[in-house]
Structure 1
């Protein structure tokens, strides 16, 4: 599994655990709902700034969202 897919799955799990809709998460993070959908499906490669915005909206550490991404991943 690639880094974007792992990140997207982690975002989805954190969002569902928080009880937030995808639309609400996008709003809280200052992003478009379609962008958030692409992130969760592993179709976007968000910047560090976007990762921080998503983490802040979910009230979790950014490290939670990148958990499970191998350090030596080569894409």
Structure 2
């Protein structure tokens, strides 16, 4: 699944570790999501969208 997580994170000036800390997950989880190796659970996807003040659809494209 294609995602805009790295772009959103960089736009906010956040490191992977800061985002991980904000969400209560490991940095490895963020790396895996950004690289497309791991699709986040629905609750985690909602948290990501809330953190970046956008919709889940803005972050993730399941069609790709």
TM range, normalised to the smaller chain?
A: 0.7 to 0.9
**Max radius of gyration: which structure?**
1
Aligned to 2:14: 20
- Deviant stretches of 4+, over 4 Å: none
Report the count of equivalent residues: 64
TM-score (norm 2): 0.84
| More helix as a share of residues | 1
| More strand as a share of residues | 2
Aligned to 2:52: 58
Where in structure 1 are there 5+ consecutive unaligned residues?
A: none
Where in structure 2 are there 5+ consecutive unaligned residues?
A: none
* Superposed CA RMSD: 1.5
State which of 29, 33, 41 in structure 2 corresponds to 1:47: 41
